Each structure stands twice: as C-alpha cells, then as structure tokens.
Amino acid sequence: MEKNRSTKFIICSLLLGSFLANSQSINLDVDAAKAITKIQPTMFGLFFEDINFAADGGLYAEMIKNRSFEFDKPLMGWEQPNTKRSSLNKESGSATPIEITANNTNFCRVEINNATGYALINEGFRGMGVKKDAKYNLSLKALNQEGNIKKIIIQLIDKDQKVIGETVIVPTSKEWKTYTSQFTATQTESKAKLKITFEGTGTIDLDMISLFPEDTWKNRKNGLRKDLVQLLYDMKPGFLRFPGGCIVEGRTLADRYQWKKSIGNVEDRKTMMNRWNVEFNHKQTPDYFQSFGLGFYEYFQLSEDIGATPLPILSCGMACQYNTGQLAPLEELDPYVQDALDLIEFANGSEDTAWGKLRSDMGHPKPFGLQYIGVGNEQWGPDYIDRYKVFEKAIKAKYPNIIIVSGSGPSPDGEHFDYAMQELKKLNAEIIDEHYYKSPQWFRGNAARYDNYDRKGPKIFAGEYAAQSVSGANPNNRNNWECAFSEAAFMTGLERNAEVVNLTSYAPLMAHEDAWQWTPDMIWFNNLQSYGSANYYVQKLFSTNKGTDLLTISKNGAPLTGQNNLYASAVKDANSKEIIIKLVNTSSAAQDVSINFKGTKLIPDGTIITLTSPDLQDENTFADPKKISPKEAKFKSEKEKVKLKLPAYSVNVLKLKMK
C-alpha cells in the first residue's frame, strides 16, 4: 500500500509539474560579475574498478585468459578437445600444470603423442574479438628440452573452427626462451579462439602465452584497448581513481589489492582471484582473476595519458566489512602504512630513491606528480577512525603536502555515515569520500544536499554514485534515461556547491556485455565494440564544460533545485571567455525559460548542447549506441537576455561568449 501511494504521489507530482510548465515561463538570473569560488580541475573525474571484467578482458588488451596457468584451476580457460582424462591419449596428447615450488608459479607441460590429433585451445574472455586485416602480436615462453618438437603452430579459429589467422614458432632452445611472432586476421570475429598444435612428438613446456592487438592505445606494446581509453580521454577527466572500490579491501586481508605486487616485470606479477569472482549469486564468474598486467604503474601512466590527476586508494588494514571484516591489529599496521609511504615515493621520488628508481627503470624517469592518496574504501565505525589516525600521522609527517582522502562509509546517511562525519570533522580531515547508489527520485530530491554543508569544514569527494532504476546491487538495473537525467539534476547541485565539493565520479565505470556482475555502468563493451551510456554523455557534458569560476543562477533569489522540475548551475570559463549554464528539465513537458545576465556583455551568438529522449526507459545499446547523445544548435541572445524552450526530459548546456 505504501509503495502504491508513493508511486501515485510521484505521478501526481510529474503531472503537476507538467501543468505548471505549460502555464508559465520561468525567469532566471545569472550574476556574472562575482565569482563565488574556483571550480577545482578535479571537479569531474573517473572511478575505475576491476569489476565487470573491466581490466582483464576489458581495458587491458590481453586476449588470452589464464595466460600463465596461474588460476586456482591451472587449466581453466584452456580446452583439449581430443584429450580424455581417463585415457592414455595415444592418438592425441595431454597438458599438465607443473608447479615451480621455489616461487609458487606454474607452467604447462604438454605431452604430444600424436601431433595430428592433439590441440590446446584458449577460449579468451568470452571469446576473442579480432578484426579483419588487423595485426596481432603473439608471445610465449617455451622449453623444448628434448628438441623433438619442431614447430608450434598458432591459429585463430572462428566459431565454426575455420582458421582466420596463423603463425608458426620454431622452438630452438632447450632452456626457457621467449618467442614472438605477428600475424594478421583474415576476417572479423567476436568469438574467436586461439588454437595451438605441434609438429613432432614428445614433451614441451609452455608459459606466458600472450596475444595482443598491435593497435593499442598510443601503440604501446602489450598495452590498453584503444577504443575504451578513447572514451575516457574524450571526457577530459580531472582525476582517475584506482584500483577501486571494494577491490582495494579484499574479502580477507590476504586477498586485498597490494600495489607492490602489481608493478615490475609483467610476467613476475602474481595472478590472484578477483574479489568479484563469486560475490553475487546472480552472476557467478569463477573465471574472474587478476593478472595485474594493468597495475599501478599502468594506472599512473593512464592518468597521465588522459590528463587526469592520479588518485590511488590503499587498504587501511580492514578487509571488506560486507565479507569477513578482518582487521589488522593496530600494533601490526606498520606494513600497511609503509605501503602508503612507499607508493608516494614510487610516484614522486627521484631516481636516487629506491622506489623512484624502480619507476624510472620501468620507463618513467619523471615523477608522476601524485597529490592525493586515499586511505581505505567504504570502511565504517571506530575501527576505521583508529586506523585512519595512524595513516594520517605518518603520511603528514613525511609528506605534509599530500592530500589524504578519507571515507564516510557505503551510504549517504545513517549511523555509520553520521559517526564518520562527526569524527573526521574533529580530525580536520581534508577530503571525505561519500557514496550513494539510490533511486532516480533520490537524486532529484537531493540536489540541495550540499547547500548547507560547512564551507570551512572538510571538502567532499562524491566518489561513487549512480541512480539505480530498480534498487541497489540489483541485476535488473538499467542505464535508462530517467537515471541519467536525474543524475544530471543532482550534478547541478554538486557544481553549485563547488566551495565544498571538489571531486565527483560515477561508478562503476565499465562492464563487459557477457561478463558483468553489477549494473548500471557508464561504459559498455563487448569483444569488438564499446559505447557510452546516456549516463556517460551526462558525465561528459559536465566534465567538458566545467569552467573555472562558479557563478550564481537563481529564480527569485533562490537556487534552482527542482522548482518547476528545473535544476540549474552556472560557471564562467576564464580561458575561453564563456559563460556556461547547465539546465535540466525533469518535467514531461517542454518549458519556456528566460535567463537574464548581469555584470557582463555578451556576444549574441550562443551554442546550446542538448541531451534528451522522450521515454524514461530509453537507453543506448550496441545496436543503437548513440540513441541518446548530445545535439548542438545555435541561438541568439538579445540585450543580455536569452529565451529558450527546454525539451521535456532534457539536459542542456548553454555557452555564451563574453565581450
């Protein structure tokens, strides 16, 4: 009954809003003479977490799953179609994982009894996406101890077993040796596999079997997937937060993310299970592991590539409180704190320091310019505050200029949130990370959330947020238009409160069409394609039009926070000499708006960028990736006044040049 009443109330509110919209023109005032505060360069950024196969199988362009046989089941991802466990396999052969006890790593020993019958096939990450005429770089390590294996034949095969690319490696060494080759795909295929066969009979050892497209981001060998990085680059993000998220914490402390294990030679980075592997009953993914080919060095490099300030988040000695909640005792916290200090040295230290030298040896002599570091993710309660104090004291003692990001827990309200905010304010915390996964109605209703936050208190990082079309962590959530424009309405409130809010980011960032665990997500991809959701275009509109100085925009002296189903924020860009207005109409009817500018003279010709769709349930898809995407048009101002009709359900960005 309560749910029905709530639904009726929402419908009635929308209908009333539509009636009011049709019956009057809304007059708004913009004061361009006085800047309230500077917009931080970090205002709109990106949050990356390795969930939904966003790293291995996604951003990291490796095409082989379990390339070094290090999964808990060492042959997971590998098929032997002509091999039977209960047979001597005289007409084929068999592969056996061998553990090297010295460093607890595996390789694969292949016994070929009949070369015409044996094959070893890798399935990739829900298949491999290959494109016709594109080049692919193969590498592998082999030890041909007896010298009986004359050739290793590598083939790409399509879903019908047809060969669509081939190369041959001659394994000449009786010691471990790395071999490389390149071949070209003869057709486009989203579900290709890699097939390995041999010439000769006997035994050969294989390891680190790797396949990358040659065409990666910035053409880096064994690099990142170009189309996905391009989508990030196009947003002009102010920062990149990495590597998560809950992935930082681990279900236990033993499987937390440890940055030192993610750097150095790629083949020496130890594979481990991803914490999202079996987290949700609705989407079990037992083949979800981390190779750490995308590690902290690559995250820093990516931040630099896309012009984003790096924001790493580290474990504070607390495992995920939704899982074990395991704690490192305070007297045993030193290694965790040292990790933070060493990370700062790795990012910023000179080549005369141990960690700075390692960064330089990896190919980046110049410091990365780290300014921020996050302590913990979504932790709550006194245990977190106690550990935060230890980190804060140690970091500030050695690196007083590093800005520390603390957390207020997983929710935007409630006892954990209230406690954290109270205690962190006492500690003069610099930036507090707030998270909200709520309904579209919540986002529309909370555009004024920060209007009354203390301007002299801690700054806010809206570190994870996304409107949930059904409910939090529900697999039926969609990236629909109502969610996207509701987030835009809320974002005008974030921007209006730039005195308090310094960083914001949508979450999660990416999802594989065939291997996701959590929805909604900003960017969707499969093995060949990628697209930005409607939510992506909302984020991009704000990020590429953030300006440099905050201005006031008001109706009858009050900020626009949902009156007449309208939301607004205004900035000035001192570099481009523009005034930029963001207007969101959440009404089901178009609305007439008049905007009066004072304190400036305007060039009459302006630009309006509009994001709109008639149906609340509309969303972008692989079939129609730009169904909801920005459209640009021109308009004219007259005597520092603009009159516009805002479409129903629309996000609008107005840009006017100042004389």
Question: Which of the residues are catalytic?
Answer: 378
* CB-CB contact of 296 with 28 (8 Å): no
> Which run of H or E residues covers position 368?
none
CA distance 462 to 507: 10
Beta-sheet strands, E only, within 185-318: 189-199, 202-213, 239-242, 272-273, 289-290, 309-314
Which CA distances in Å does 339 have to 49, 148, 261, 303, 333? 20, 48, 11, 20, 10
Q: What is the DSSP string of 21-52?
A: HHH-PEEEEEE-S---SBPPTTSB-EE--S-T
Is the Cα torsion angle 267, 268, 274, 277 positive or negative in sign?
positive
Task: Find, among 2, 186, 68, 19, the residue nearest to 591 by Cα.
Answer: 19
Tell me the C-alpha distance between 257 and 261, whole Å.
Answer: 8
Alpha-carbon distance of 304 to 71, in angstroms, equals 31
**How far apart (Å, rounded) are the C-alpha atoms in residues 639 and 272?**
64
Q: Is the dihedral of CA 364, 365, 368, 373 positive or negative?
A: positive
Judge contact between 127 and 221, C-beta under 8 A.
no
Which residues, at least 6 apart from 58, have a Cβ–Cβ distance to it below 8 Å? 52, 125, 225, 228, 510, 512, 525
Contact in structure between 232 and 306 (CB atoms under 8 Å): yes
Listed in sequence order, the residues at least 6 apart from 240 whose beta carbon sits closer than 8 Å to its beta carbon are 45, 46, 48, 232, 299, 302, 303, 306, 308, 309, 310, 311
Residues, the chain: 659
Distances, alpha carbon 604 to alpha carbons 248, 520, 552, in Å: 51, 40, 21
- Of residues 279, 267, 391, 339, the one with CA closest to residue 49: 279
Decide: 465 and 435 in contact? Cβ < 8 Å: yes
Contact 566, 27 (CB under 8 A): no
The DSSP call for residue 20 is H
